[in-house]
Amino acid sequence: MRIEMIKKALSNPLALAGFIIILTIFLLAMLAPVISPYDPDEINVKAILLSPSWSHWMGTDGLGRDVLSRMLHGGRISLLVGLVAVGISTAIGIFLGALAGYYRGWVDTLIMRLVDIMLSIPSFFLILAVIAFLTPSIINIMIVIGLTSWMGVTRLVRAEFLSLAEREFVQASRTLGAKDMRLIFTHLLPNSLTPIIVSAVLGVASAVLMESGLSFLGLGVQAPQSSWGNILTDGKEYIQFAWWLSLYPGMAILITVLGYNLLGEGLRDALDPRSGSNR
């Protein structure tokens, strides 16, 4: 990614806001062991359901645990799940999309029919069905979300390969005897990275939402590990008089998703090769 493209992306106020939001959340999550005021798993029966105060900035939960500390550590889990799941789905999408777009014919037909079948099933319900047969854990959540979210990347990469395959520089390389792998990894894939990067950034937001939803339903990250989703689950039991247990994790999810969406849209504007200002 060229320096001028990065500068252009960050010159967009919305993209810059998204970058600052994501960077701030990452720093807070990574520094959680250092800046957390309490042990996130420490139970204090004398501090059950305390409202926000100077001692507990975000209050405490039904077991007397500090919500701020759990939020900071939970952010590490939520962001990790989002990033790894998107990494898995992007890798699968690139592989299948490259095969479909380069070889075409029956390979393209087979892969795209598989994509159509997967897209016909609501992703969240598909994930619920798979998770029901597995032990809920961080690793399983990351793998399942990744294995059920690759279809969009596949269609994107396929479309890019179909377009680029007709360009003069690809035809020239093929005429000179370049092998398939050289054409794919030297010419086609590098020139398809822009939409892939944008899709991956936007995909993290979707994965964070998916993990939070699963954890909220009790099928995601399990206690005593904290994530924003299961903190939100704890809050539903006390929502009438302990509003902070629902407000703060909900706001964290909202702000994180907003940050990724703003950053993704900004990168799309700056890096889109079809934009006249980038030619």
Instruction: Give the pLDDT confidence of 212-234 residue by residue, as tens digits.
Output: 888 888 777 777 788 888 888 88
Which residues have C-beta within 8 Å of that of residue 161, sequence separation ≥ 6? 97, 98, 100, 101, 102, 188, 192
Whether 278 has a pLDDT exceeding 50, the answer reads no
Q: What is the pLDDT of residue 276?
A: 43
CA distance 106 to 113: 10
- Tokens describing residue 278: 């980038």
The answer, yes or no, to whether residue 185 has pLDDT greater than 50, is yes
Confidence of residue 90 (pLDDT cuts 50, 70, 90): very high
Partnered with residue 60 across adjacent β-strands are 66
DSSP lists the bridge partners of residue 66 as 60
Over the Cα atoms of the chain, what is R_g? 22
Q: Under CATH, to which class is 3-278 assigned?
A: mainly alpha
pLDDT class for 104, splitting at 50, 70, 90?
confident
Contact call for residues 215 and 249 (beta carbons, < 8 A)? no
Nearest one of 123, 189, 131 to 150, comparing CA atoms: 123
- pLDDT on residue 277: 43
pTM score of the predicted model: 0.85
Report the alpha-carbon distance of residue 161 to residue 98 in Å, rounded. Answer: 7
Pick the closest to residue 154 from 207, 217, 91, 77 (CA basis).
91
